Amino acid sequence: MTVIVTGAAGFIGMHVAERLLERGETVVGIDSFNAYYEPGLKEARAARLEGRERFTMVRLDIADHEAMRALVADSGADRVVHLAAQAGVRYSIDHPFTYERSNLLGHLSVLEACRHAGVKHLVYASSSSVYGDQPLNGAGFREDEPADRPVSLYAATKRSCELMSQSYATLYGLPQSGLRFFTVYGPWGRPDMAYFSFTEAIMSGESIEVFGEGRMARDFTYIDDIVDGVLGVLEHPPVSRHEVYNIGDSSPVGLFTMISTLERVLGRQAIKVLMPMQPGDVTATFADVSKLNSLTGYRPRVAIDEGLERFATWWRGFRGVN
Ligand code: NAD
């Protein structure tokens, strides 16, 4: 059977599609190749996939609900991994309507397409940002905590997706799993994310802006661990019809620690400029992954030192830097 992956030219989507192909699945990727960041990077990711057997890329805006409905029905797909979205917390402050189209209308369009086609399991991306701004108190965020205080429009749209999905589970019995990803990083990553933009700045001798004066912490999760989580959940359509799972590393890393790790793997010092907190940012994230572990045996395997080393190796190759 076929698996549809939306956002297949994106960072997580490319890796998920690649692993599915390695497992012998047939994959239809969907992506609008939006201009949020470096078009050449999306084209390069797509080229990696398009060279493989049993892979087709369809260039489509998921919010085009008639086209989506026809595509999902015609593909004969029984599982959908929905990762297409307008990502980025800070960008949502200045470009709110982009989030309405891709994240709200787009998610609804995927839901409609899946229910009409009788899809057996829809796995979709949510985000750690739904937890809002919480202090670290030694324990990770749990899925059964209230998630009703988003501090960015991005977070609000991701929480809205979860609620829309819950309604489709109740109304139509559509089996779905929502995945709350925690700061994903690694090769083929997103240039708008701090570890990537810091790398570019450090290597070209430019200063880096350290928001929150460095007092932020993130549960950085290596891409291969995320893919393990996504594929593990995909095999388990929930009996309750809708569940949400954290996928994280479960070990928050301070921003200064992340920067010093980058300095070590890059062999260069960063020029740091301390800046105040940005609107929409949260102080810390920390995943409790016990729910996912109970379902699939999930355990994150790649720690930040190793993960950033692998990222730096990829980055040097991609940018042609020694
Ligand atoms: P990404 O921006 O690299 O990938 C998203 C892809 O979706 C892009 O290629 C984009 O062109 C495509 N897209 C956007 N709007 C579309 C539309 N309307 N129609 C078709 N395609 C569209 O981002 P990513 O980091 O790979 O994130 C994947 C998913 O995971 C997103 O839903 C994101 O919100 C979520 N997420 C990511 C992280 C992270 O740290 N990377 C953390 C939490 C949640």
Note whether residue 179 is domain-resident: yes
Rounded to a whole number of angstroms, the distance between the first and last alpha carbons of the chain is 43
The interface predicted TM-score of the complex, written ipTM, equals 0.99
Q: Average pLDDT for residues 99-124, to the nearest whole number? A: 98
- CA-CA distances (angstroms) from residue 117 to 53, 88, 188, 311? 25, 31, 32, 38
Q: Average pLDDT for residues 78-89, to the nearest whole number? A: 97
Which of 43, 66, 83, 162 has most ligand 1 atoms within 8 Å of its beta carbon, as the pocket-test mutant? 83
Q: CB atoms < 10 A from the CB of 139, how many?
A: 8
Which atom of ligand 1 is found nearest the CA of 33?
11
Residue 135 pLDDT greater than 90, yes or no: no
How many structural domains does the chain have? 1
Catalytic position from the list 154, 168, 195, 245? 154
Q: Average pLDDT for residues 106-127, to the nearest whole number? A: 98
Find the angle CA(90)-CA(85)-CA(303) to the nearest 5 degrees. Answer: 70
Q: Across-strand partners of 273?
A: 209
* Element at 81 (helix H, strand E): strand 77-82
pLDDT of residue 137: 86
In sequence order, the 6+-apart residues with CB closer than 8 A to the CB of 236 are: 177, 295, 296
Rounded to the nearest integer, the mean pLDDT of the chain is 97
Torsion angle defined by CA atoms of residues 269, 274, 280 and 282, in that order, rounded to the nearest 10 degrees: 70
Q: Average pLDDT for residues 171-194, to the nearest whole number? A: 98
69 C-alpha to ligand 1 centroid (Å): 20
pLDDT of residue 22: 97
pLDDT in tens, 214-234: 899 999 999 999 999 999 999
Residue 56 buriedness (CB in 10 A; 0-12 / 13-18 / 19+): middle
d(CA 209, CA 274): 6
Note whether residue 314 is domain-resident: no
Q: Does any ligand 1 atom lie closer than 6 A to the CB of residue 249?
A: no
Residue 1 pLDDT greater than 90, yes or no: no
Residue closest to 158 by CA, chosen among 282, 59, 302: 282
Residue 150 pLDDT greater than 90, yes or no: yes
- Least confident span in 176-185, 277-286, 291-300: 277-286
Q: Across-strand partners of 292?
A: none
Note whether residue 26 is domain-resident: yes
Q: Does any ligand 1 atom lie closer than 6 A to the CB of residue 63?
A: yes
d(CA 226, CA 179): 10
pLDDT of residue 312: 98
d(CA 274, CA 47): 39
Q: Does any ligand 1 atom lie closer than 6 A to the CB of residue 186?
A: no
pLDDT of residue 180: 98
Residue 136 pLDDT greater than 90, yes or no: no
d(CA 190, CA 29): 18
Note whether residue 52 is domain-resident: yes
Percent of the chain beyond pLDDT 90?
Answer: 97
pLDDT in tens, 29-68: 999 999 999 999 999 999 999 989 999 999 999 999 999 9
CATH code of 113's domain = 3.40.50.720
Note whether residue 240 is domain-resident: yes
Note whether residue 208 is domain-resident: no
Q: Across-strand partners of 151?
A: none
- CA-CA distances (angstroms) from residue 25 to 122, 141, 254, 263? 16, 33, 38, 39
Q: Which two tokens stand for residue 221?
A: 């999760």
| Smallest CA separation from ligand 1 atom 28, residue | 83
| Banded pLDDT at 17 (limits 50, 70, 90) | very high
Percent of the chain beyond pLDDT 70?
Answer: 100
Residue 80: domain span: 2-184+222-249+288-300
Note whether residue 58 is domain-resident: yes
Q: Average pLDDT for residues 242-247, to the nearest whole number? A: 98
pLDDT of residue 138: 87
Residue closest to 181 by CA, chosen among 276, 233, 246: 246
- CA–chain centroid gap for 161, Å, is 14
Q: Average pLDDT for residues 187-216, to the nearest whole number? A: 96
Q: Is 185 a catalytic residue?
A: no
Note whether residue 158 is domain-resident: yes
Residue closest to 184 by CA, chosen among 260, 246, 119: 246
Which atom of ligand 1 is found nearest the CA of 31?
21
Q: Does any ligand 1 atom lie closer than 6 A to the CB of residue 7?
A: yes
